Amino acid sequence: MDLPIVIKDLVNAQNQCDSTAFANCFSETSTVFDEGRSYKGRNEIKTWIEKAGKEYNAVMKPLHYEENENQGVLQAEVSGTFPGSPLVLYYNFEFDEKLINSLKINS
């Protein structure tokens, strides 16, 4: 599957529990929406993914990717120590240059 570099970097950072590398995939003013909450800017995103990583040990396996101009949708199987694991989740991206400007995660 042909993924943009920033998405490959995001998946690798997630799977290696590297919250700094994960946050660096986002623009300074980016927003993540997950489980009814939003996280704004790299610092909040880093804190969110670091906490989630410690709590759930989540690993992503990309299944499908579609892109249209500055938007993309990644379908991924996510497994870890959370109820219902593994789950198939959809990562809805908006890009700003080569970084992620917005991410909405849903099932």
Q: What is the pLDDT of residues 28-37, one digit of tens each?
A: 999 999 999 9
Q: Which pLDDT score is estimated for 76?
A: 98
Q: Would you call 68 helix, strand, or coil by DSSP?
A: strand
Q: Which pLDDT score is estimated for 19?
A: 97
How many Cβ atoms from other residues are within 10 Å of residue 97's Cβ?
8
Sign of CA dihedral 78, 22, 10, 14: negative
pTM of this prediction?
0.94
Q: What is the pLDDT of residues 33-58, one digit of tens each?
A: 999 999 999 999 999 999 999 999 99
Q: What is the pLDDT of residues 59-88, one digit of tens each?
A: 999 999 999 989 999 999 999 999 999 999
Domains of the chain, CATH where assigned: 5-106 (3.10.450.50)
Alpha-carbon distances, residue 26 vs 15, 31, 37, 72, 98 (angstroms): 17, 8, 17, 14, 9
97 band by pLDDT with thresholds 50, 70 and 90: confident
User: Which residue reads 């870890």 in tokens?
Assistant: 80
Check: CB of residue 7 under 8 Å from CB of residue 93: yes
